[in-house]
Amino acid sequence: MKNNFKDPEHFHSPWTFSKIVIFFFLLISLSYLLYSLRFVSHSFTDCDQNPLSSITHLSETRSFPSDEESPKPIEETNLSHIVFGIGASSKLWKQRKEYIKLWWRPSEMRGIVWLDQKVETEPGDEKLLPQLKISGDTSNFKYKNPKGHRSAIRISRIVSETLKLGMEGVRWFVMGDDDTVFIAENLVKVLQKYDHNQFYYIGSSSESHLQNMYFSYNMAYGGGGFAISYPLAVALEKIQDRCIQRYPGLYGSDDRIQACMAELGVPLTKERGFHQFDVYGNLFGLLAAHPVTPLVSLHHLDVVEPIFPNVTRVQALRRLMVAKKLDPAGLIQQSICYDKARKWTVSVSWGYAVQIFRGIFSAREMEMPARTFLNWYRRADYTAYAFNTRPVSRNVCQKPFVYYLTNAIHNKHTNETSSEYVRVEPNPKCRWKMEDPTQIERVEVHKKPDPNLWDKSPRRNCCRVLPTKKKGSLVIDVGPCGEDEIVEL
Ligand SMILES: *[C@@H]1O[C@H](CO)[C@@H](O)[C@H](O)[C@H]1NC(C)=O
Ligand SMILES: *[C@@H]1O[C@H](CO)[C@@H](O)[C@H](O)[C@H]1NC(C)=O
Ligand SMILES: *[C@@H]1O[C@H](CO)[C@@H](O)[C@H](O)[C@H]1NC(C)=O
């Protein structure tokens, strides 16, 4: 049997086909006619209308107020919007005030050092330090932690006590200890990311996994410093004294803050540039492989060794501040590259140190901090940390050649910083038959300051080993990576 539907000849008889063609022709002509008429009528009405009257008409039909159309430019957060609240003890004031002098800028910053009792002031100190105040009496509060000290209550209340001073134009309260060193430019950069009109509690955890378990991974460690937005400080102040009474068993001031934050339902916003440094020994591994985020604070500087060898703690930090002044955004930012001809791996921590390794290490190894430090219980335990670390190599040939910052300057002609790093510790003898970095005594690093580094998505800078005729020197350029530039040999 023939299937009609499959046979085109039967389906479209010649008579029906011509009908369809005529129908389509008519349809198209009609649409064209209608379209043209519409166009003509429109242009007539447009000509009739006064352009001004059409604008009035537009704004009349809008329901929202006119300033919505051009919102007021929001002023970026700067140092003047921050008030520091520093928790200090009269007993340690004499040494600790030296740490504050390293970062405090009296004419530009606002803040209070809150003490337990009056301290002797040395002449000249007034001009170099924040205003000193004595904290309110807390003897009526319960404190029942067997290991801690009841000064925790006093220090916890610094947020409320600072708020009650009623300073104007405050967006953020930033808390810290008397042994916290802030990199103010980077603190401002970090806070600029957040809306100060909302509730924010910003800081970082401890390096110690056990400490974080014991206290909380949701707690901002007080020594590393933390920031509380103005409206959150207002909300906290209203409840803080009642809240503190609910937690007499807690240990410190920062866990008391966190307990109140939990009651307010405000989580910790983590920023990895705040450093509690709950470690012992040598910070080198941590400072040589900083995460790709601005350095905001350093803490426990009395606990760890001086960050540069053979100088006092304060002298060492003062040296770091020389580099900080030239390019705060780039401070201790890591870049990794290879000396291709000599098969060396080079890791720069700008403004702090340069390392040269024999052989090729991958970027993923180099960006892991080497365990040059001990954990908070003074043990070398690789399971102790809340982040990845790598062991210090036992092989004498793989021990890095370390060059520490000696000086940094800004060159007006090239608009570049030039920082110098020198080796102070000898390396052990190695029998590998490859080029030996022992001949390199100093490293020179050139870098353009980049104040906008953190306005872009986070990315490590690239470094390049430059050809040089200077004997005993390695010259390196650090800057944004070029197109297709990655860390490879
Ligand atoms: C900081 O911002 C305020 C406005 O909120 C402005 O008046 C002041 O000049 C700014 N300061 C600096 C140093 O930019
Ligand atoms: C450390 O300092 C002392 C005295 O200032 C000096 O004699 C010594 O050579 C220095 N050591 C190193 C490794 O720089
Ligand atoms: C130098 O570099 C800085 C940062 O990139 C820039 O703001 C400044 O305008 C530059 N100055 C000159 C003279 O090129």
Q: How far is the CA of 447 from the centre of ligand 3 (A)?
A: 12
Nearest ligand, measured from the Cα of 81:
1
Per DSSP (E only), the strands in 106-188 are: 110-115, 131-134, 172-177, 181-182
Please give the number of the atom of ligand 1 that sits closest to the Cα of 75: 5
Neighbours of 92 (CB within 10 A): 14
* pTM across the whole model: 0.85
Q: In this structure, which residue's CA is closest to atom 6 in ligand 2?
A: 310
Please give the number of the atom of ligand 3 that sits closest to the Cα of 451: 4
Nearest ligand, measured from the Cα of 310:
2
Q: How far is the CA of 328 from the centre of ligand 3 (A)?
A: 15
Q: In this structure, which residue's CA is closest to atom 2 in ligand 3?
A: 415
Q: How far is the CA of 310 from the centre of ligand 2 (A)?
A: 6
Give the residue from 196, 202, 162, 364 showing the smallest Cα distance to 294: 202
pLDDT, one tens digit for every residue, the chain (489 residues): 334 444 444 444 445 656 666 666 666 676 665 565 554 444 444 444 444 444 434 444 444 444 555 566 689 999 999 999 999 999 999 999 999 999 999 999 999 999 999 999 899 999 999 999 999 999 999 999 999 999 999 999 999 999 999 999 999 999 999 999 999 999 999 999 999 999 999 999 999 999 999 999 999 999 999 999 999 999 999 999 999 999 999 999 999 999 999 999 999 999 999 999 999 999 999 999 999 999 999 999 999 999 999 999 999 999 999 999 999 999 999 999 999 999 999 999 999 999 999 999 999 999 999 999 999 988 888 899 999 999 999 999 999 999 999 999 999 999 999 999 999 999 999 999 999 999 999 999 999 999 999 999 999 999 999 999 999 999 999 999 999 999 998
Give the residue from 149, 153, 151 showing the smallest Cα distance to 141: 153
Among 411, 413, 415, 455, the mutation site with the greatest number of ligand 3 atoms within 8 A of its Cβ is 415
Please give the number of the atom of ligand 2 that sits closest to the Cα of 310: 1
pLDDT of residue 489: 85
Q: How far is the CA of 298 from the centre of ligand 1 (A)?
A: 26
Among 75, 79, 80, 196, the mutation site with the greatest number of ligand 1 atoms within 8 A of its Cβ is 80
CA neighbours within 13 Å on the CB side: how many for 441?
A: 3
Question: Does the Cβ of 448 fall within 6 Å of ligand 3?
Answer: yes
Q: How far is the CA of 220 from the centre of ligand 3 (A)?
A: 36
Q: In this structure, which residue's CA is closest to atom 12 in ligand 3?
A: 415
Q: In this structure, which residue's CA is closest to atom 4 in ligand 1?
A: 75
Among 305, 308, 310, the mutation site with the greatest number of ligand 2 atoms within 8 A of its Cβ is 310
Give the residue from 391, 369, 388 showing the smallest Cα distance to 380: 391
Domains of the chain (ranges, CATH numbers): 79-276 (3.90.550.50), 284-479 (2.70.130.10)
Q: In this structure, which residue's CA is closest to atom 7 in ligand 2?
A: 310
Q: CA-to-CA distance for 168 and 191, rounded, in angstroms?
A: 18
pLDDT of residue 86: 98
CA neighbours within 13 Å on the CB side: how many for 344?
A: 23
Question: Does the Cβ of 415 fall within 6 Å of ligand 3?
Answer: yes
Q: State the burial class of residue 156 (Cβ atoms within 10 Å of its Cβ: 0-12, 13-18, 19+).
A: buried
Give the residue from 400, 397, 398, 393 showing the smallest Cα distance to 430: 397
Question: Does the Cβ of 133 fall within 6 Å of ligand 3?
Answer: no
Percent of the chain whose pLDDT exceeds 70: 85
Hey, what are 462's tokens? 């690239």
Report the amino acid identity of residue 438: T
Q: CA-to-CA distance for 107 and 128, rounded, in angstroms?
A: 9
Q: CA-to-CA distance for 308 and 315, rounded, in angstroms?
A: 9
Please give the number of the atom of ligand 2 that sits closest to the Cα of 425: 13
Give the residue from 357, 388, 331 showing the smallest Cα distance to 182: 331
Q: In this structure, which residue's CA is closest to atom 10 in ligand 3?
A: 415
Nearest ligand, measured from the Cα of 448:
3
Asked if 243 and 293 touch (Cβ cutoff 8 Å), the reply is no
Q: CA-to-CA distance for 111 and 162, rounded, in angstroms?
A: 8
Nearest ligand, measured from the Cα of 451:
3
Q: In this structure, which residue's CA is closest to atom 13 in ligand 3?
A: 415
pLDDT of residue 346: 98
Question: Does the Cβ of 318 fall within 6 Å of ligand 3?
Answer: no
Q: How far is the CA of 187 from the centre of ligand 3 (A)?
A: 22
Nearest ligand, measured from the Cα of 424:
2
